[in-house]
Chains A and B, each alone.
Chain A
Amino acid sequence: MRLSLTSRLSVISALLPALMVMLVVYIGATSWTAWMSLTNSRMLPNNNFVGFRQYELLLTNDRWLTSVHNVIIYGVLFVSLALLIGFLLAVAIDQRVRAEDTIRSIYLYPYAMSFVVTGLVWQWLLNPTLGIQHVLRSWGFAGATFDWIVRPETAIYCLVIAGVWQASGLVMAIMLAGLRGVDDEIWKAARVDGLPKWRVYISIVIPMMGASFATAAVLLSTAVVRLYDLSVSMTNGGPGIASEVPAKFVMDHLFERANIGLATAAATTMLITVIAVVAPYLYWRARKGEVR
């Protein structure tokens, strides 16, 4: 397509604001962050170059190491459980149940809540003196114990529970669209072949739903990297530092602990990790010619 000079100019001027935002906010801010991580900035940014000193400090920082450990546990469990539960919910709805629309809305409802609200709700539910444990005991199960949220070794799993509860509905919606994409005649062919339903799901339908699983996994993974508000509102990183996560580490060091150098080193580490994971995947997709 050939455009006249004036219309080309108008195209460029229309795109310019977006381009500027892109350059200044993303590239600019990212580069500034990376540069700050090589300085000894504390409360205010400065340009005193200290090499990789901040990174060395980071690797010996207990709170950072706990955060990384936590986000790995959270990431693996959250993504796999949300995929599993979301898929099972979608399969349940796909059995042509009545009131499908209502059920679907109910499942999707948690996703409409912010992480802060989700965190608060689950903080109450899991609080031993207010929530599930209290209710069970008041019903007469005297020995009932559900105090994960106040125990350092299990606090992170409480974040997983809340996160999965919030995200499963979205995964269900994505999976349901994938399931509905399976041709009715494939189901008929499978019935004529005498395949039991579960066998059809496992051997035929799931392999057909690669795109749905990939979409859901990508969405869930970005939620893992951004994990912050849930930790703040549910446990505020506690007990102690037991449920700290990397994004919270960055925020706290930027604003409360006035350690810009260490915070930006942590942020840059997160960015590099994400790139290291995503780049090979994108490359592989491009090679397969599946980038859409």
Chain B
Amino acid sequence: MQRSNVDITNLQIGFGGLKVLENLNLHVDASEFLVLLGPSGCGKSTLLNAIAGLIDVKGGEIRIGDRDVTWAEPKDRGIAMVFQSYALYPRMSVRKNLSFGLKVARTPQDEIDSRVGEAAKMLRLTELLDRRPSELSGGQRQRVAIGRALVRHAGVYLFDEPLSNLDAQLRAELRVEIKRLHARLGATMIYVTHDQIEALTLADRIAVMQGGVIQQLDTPKKIYREPANRFVASFVGSPAMNFIRGRIARDGGLAFIAGDARFDLNGYAFRTPPSDAPAVLGIRPEHIEVIGSDHPSAVPARVEMVEPMGADALIWCRLADGTAFSFRSDADAQARAGDTLALRFPAEAFSLFDDQSGQRL
């Protein structure tokens, strides 16, 4: 099986007067699992359809496996695609769904049989081969759709929100199955989703998109730990990152000041040299801890609500200046609404953003 890399340079796409993608660049390595993550309407499907050749581009170049395919038909690009609505051929059996494309392409029958058999085995479809799509559950239908992509032995597999129509449990199961498939085939996969959990669990690298622009392209870990701007920070992670408005002060040791609260910035890796300026401090709920009130860097906060979440609890608090935030604590924490806690905000876990541009500092 060939594994193709994908190179997109200066891609421009618009519908009528509406510019959806402008000068977009993206490189995907062979065998990589790349996830395009973003809110709906940000142009993920548009980008994926352009790679597949299903929409015309206004400008730029798309190369798959080092071949310029900008104007090639979808079938000649060495790609296969899985759709959100499954898009199975409804009146054909599962077997026919898998084999029809190969048959029309005049693939020899024994080759068709062996590819269909192999894909069916990999996706546990062997028992279902003679059923119609209407006789299958949602999860089974999506496995058939994946099977129809696999038999093409493509260099790149494209997935457009393949799990969005499934319920939570099936989604988790199929997610694992897709990850296993990638490990087993080592194929290049580009996967579109608006679900950040899916992105974090599946991806080798994530491209976070907003408004047709890739905001950050990095490993899941980096995206989670060091978001490049406020959009990425707020879009990735659940429960969401806390944001505290304030300013950076350099008098008497580097610190972030929000009202009366003072957060020590010793240990924060600035990208640009810090200056006294308004900024936004981001910190994820799991990084805030309760400490003794006599600790020098303790910040006091009043508990407003405790939200038990099974394994742990989310505790909602307010700083003295009224800023609301939440943090994770173990499930049998003693905190009650109305209590005042002393909390530690570790500088290593901060993400500081420019107040104006929202870029990471």
Contacts and interface: CB of A to CB of B under 8 A. Distances in A.
Interface stretch (B4-12, B75-83, B177-185, B311-319): B75-83
Interface string A159-200: 000000000000000000000000101101111111110010
B100 A194 contact: no
A89 B83 CA distance: 30
A191 B77 CA distance: 11
Interface stretch (A110-118, A124-132, A201-209): A201-209
Contact of B101 (A183, A185, A194, A207): A194
A199 to B, nearest CB: 6
Given A193-B100, A193-B101, A194-B105, A185 B87 contact: yes
Given A207-B91, A208-B90, A192 B81 contact: yes
Contacts, number: 66
Interface residues of A, number: 17
A185 B101 CA distance: 15
A188 B54 contact: yes
Interface in B80-98: 80-81, 83-92
Interface of B is mostly: loop
A203 B104 CA distance: 11
Contact of B104 (A186, A188, A194, A207): A194
Contacts of B80: 192
Given A188-B49, A189-B83, A194 B74 contact: yes
Interface in B1-60: 49, 52-54
Interface in A38-96: none
A194 B80 CA distance: 11
B224 to A, nearest CB: 31
Given A183-B85, A189-B87, 17 more contacts: A185-B84, A185-B85, A185-B86, A188-B49, A188-B52, A188-B54, A189-B88, A190-B89, A191-B74, A192-B52, A192-B54, A192-B79, A192-B81, A193-B152, A194-B75, A194-B104, A195-B104
Interface of B: 49, 52-54, 73-76, 79-81, 83-92, 100-101, 104-105, 148, 152
13 contacts: A183-B85, A185-B83, A185-B84, A192-B54, A192-B75, A192-B79, A193-B75, A193-B148, A194-B74, A194-B75, A203-B100, A204-B92, A208-B91
